Amino acid sequence: MKVREYFISCDWGTSNFRLRVVATSNLKIIAEHKTNQGIKTLFEQYTAQKTKKQSAFFAEYLTSQISQLPEEHRNHMVVTAGMASSNIGLFEMEYANFPLQANGDNLKWKYLKVNTHLEVLLISGAKTETGMMRGEEIQAIGLNDQLASYNEGILLLPGTHSKHLAYHNATFIDLKNFMTGELFEVLSQKSILSNSIEVKSTKFEAEPFIEGVTLGLKGLLSTSLFSVRARHILQNKAKESNYYFLSGLLIGDEIKYLKNTDKTIFLAAPDPVYSLYKIALNQIIAKDNLILLDGASLERALLMGQKKILQHYDN
């Protein structure tokens, strides 16, 4: 079958929305359009009105945003990623089950004809008995080229809800979810610790961060949390210092189970979390066992994953 020259990558997350026109052959981005109308905000707007059904409401928004792309690129197939297939999105789909083939063979997708000119390929997300993800499974599939030469390993995808994917023989066999990013947000903004945490600049403070990582690696998260306040009140530590101390504490707790592993660890993330996790992992993982994939690699992985799903659909 003839390969499509272009497709439209739709990354529809909880907080943001992004469209990119992509050349299929080399994944070159031809045009881009983004807004802050993520699924959460748009769903709130949908529930506030009573005239349109959910799928029609979201389809109308998608159509309006595609009209912002160059006219000659508005009719390509749209390949989604993220929350578009959730129960608060365009069309709810069941999760695919682990294990996942690293080439995307057993992911679920659904073709939607939104209107005369708009075709959408919706991707499902993936789940185990205790974990789930929407969007990261496409990144993982897109990263398979980097993982393929290794028999097994663990892929770390940090974020608001971090994902750790166990990899073996070209298959993602298990998934662990961690609420690290959300815990940091809640503790630093909504708890009693909020008065002891502040960030005024982007200057990284290594000493309190590594101090926090060390405690987290020891499994001392719960007993160390209140020390954020004690550091401020009793030790006169700056609030900015506590920002990095708490970051290190939570990240250390997330990765503590990797202390004794001999498996290859793959870290894929954008800055600033890329740099923080890299420093934390360097405390416990030998250099030869740590493969680092930065934000640019992750961006390309999303497009590669969407391309693979589109090729499966076309074939």
| Percentage with pLDDT > 90 across the chain | 90
User: Looking at the chain, which residues constitute the CATH 3.30.420.310 domain(s)?
Assistant: 178-295
Q: What confidence score (pLDDT) does residue 1 get?
A: 59
Which pLDDT tens digit goes with each residue over 96-129? 999 999 889 899 999 999 888 889 999 999 999 9
Which pLDDT tens digit goes with each residue over 292-304? 999 999 999 999 9
Listed residue (146, 123, 155, 169) closest to 308, CA to CA: 123
DSSP string, the chain: -PPPSEEEEEEE-SS-EEEEEEETTT--EEEEEEES--HHHHHHHHHT-SSS-HHHHHHHHHHHHHTTS-GGGSSSPEEEEEGGGSTTSSS--PPEESSEETTSTT--EEEEE-SSS-EEEEE--EE-SS-EESSHHHHHHHTHHHHTTSSEEEEEE-STTEEEEEEETTEEEEEEEE-HHHHHHHHHHTSGGGGG----S----HHHHHHHHHHHHTT-HHHHHTHHHHHHHTS---HHHHHHHHHHHHHHHHHGGGTT--SEEEEE--TTHHHHHHHHHHTTS-GGGEEEE-HHHHHHHHHHHHHHHHHHHH-
> String of b and e for 72-110 (b: at least 16 CB within 10 Å)?
ebbebbbbbbbbbbbebbbbebebbebbbebbbeebbbb
Mean pLDDT over the full length of the chain: 95
Q: What confidence score (pLDDT) does residue 7 get?
A: 98
Cβ atoms 131, 62 nearer than 8 A: no
Which pLDDT tens digit goes with each residue over 242-288? 999 999 999 999 999 999 999 999 999 999 999 999 999 999 999 99
Q: What confidence score (pLDDT) does residue 116 get?
A: 82
Cβ atoms 231, 276 nearer than 8 A: no
**pTM, whole model, 2 decimals?**
0.94
Which pLDDT tens digit goes with each residue over 124-153? 999 999 999 999 999 999 999 899 999 899
User: Looking at the chain, which residues constitute the CATH 3.30.420.300 domain(s)?
Assistant: 6-148+298-314
Q: What confidence score (pLDDT) does residue 189 get?
A: 95
The residues, any chain, with a CB within 8 Å of residue 297's CB and separated by 6 or more, are 143, 146, 268
Query: 6-148+298-314 adopts what CATH topology?
Result: Nucleotidyltransferase; domain 5 (3.30.420)
Mean pLDDT across 184-212: 92
Residue 256 corresponds to which tokens in the numbers above?
């503590």
Class of domain 178-295: alpha beta
